[in-house]
Amino acid sequence: MHEMMVAQNLLEKISEEATKQNAKPISAKISCGQLYAINDEALCFAFQAIAKGTTCESVELQIEHKPIQARCKNCDLDFDIEFSQPACPNCGGDNFELLPDAPLMLEEIEFQEE
């Protein structure tokens, strides 16, 4: 299960930062691209399962999916692509390339004030 490995890595990073900050984490925001094969529910379930009994037990995960980006070959504009209307919003051209999908990133961790 891909989500279990991702959850384990998140738990390690959040726990590591909690130790550095000497604080209890309460939420964490992650982001990834639209094409990144991650199931939000499975990831949250896996994270809750492995976090039991740790300082991260009550951490709430917030997952943001970044839009797919394209670059127009006519006017060189980078834009969020809408596959229902695949055209450059600047010049209307349909000659574009898809840019690499956004990676999975731990964006921020919120800690409880002691």
Question: Does pTM top 0.85 for this prediction?
Answer: no
What's the average model confidence in pLDDT over 12-34?
Answer: 95
User: For all residues of the chain together, what is the average pLDDT?
Assistant: 93
- Map out the domains of the chain with their CATH numbers: 2-67+102-112 (3.30.2320.50)
Q: Which runs of E-coded beta strand occur in 1-114? A: 24-33, 60-66, 69-72, 78-80, 96-98, 105-112
The pair of structure tokens assigned to 25 is 């984490």
Could you give the CA distance from residue 111 to residue 74 in angstroms, rounded to a whole number? 46
Instruction: List pLDDT tens digits, range 25-81.
Output: 999 999 999 887 789 999 999 999 999 999 999 999 999 999 999 999 999 999 999
> What pLDDT is attached to residue 52?
96
